[in-house]
Amino acid sequence: MRSVAALLLVGMLTAWMELPAGTAWSCPRIRVTCAIPNPPNKCDSSWQCPRHQKCCQGACGRRCFSRPPGIPTSHG
């Protein structure tokens, strides 16, 4: 069982190292804050967002943000 877990870990690390550079993006910087105390969140994690979107803190709660323009989705 230990060898299976170690093999999975090595596989995940290898896959992570092979990701193309420059495709990761960060959540946008918040410049305005919400006047509502404890605003509702539309997502809790990026798994709840459509493909190529990320769950980030917005001006009024967390919501799904699209990839900013100019950042490639894949290298071809």
pLDDT single digits (tens) 2-39:
765 554 544 554 444 344 444 578 898 989 889 999 99
Residue 1 CB-half CA count within 13 A? 0
DSSP 47: G
Encoded tokens for 68: 């900013």
Domains and CATH numbers, the chain: 26-69 (4.10.75.10)
pLDDT in tens, 25-74: 889 898 988 999 999 999 999 999 998 899 999 999 999 999 877 655 55
- Confirm whether pTM is higher than 0.75: no
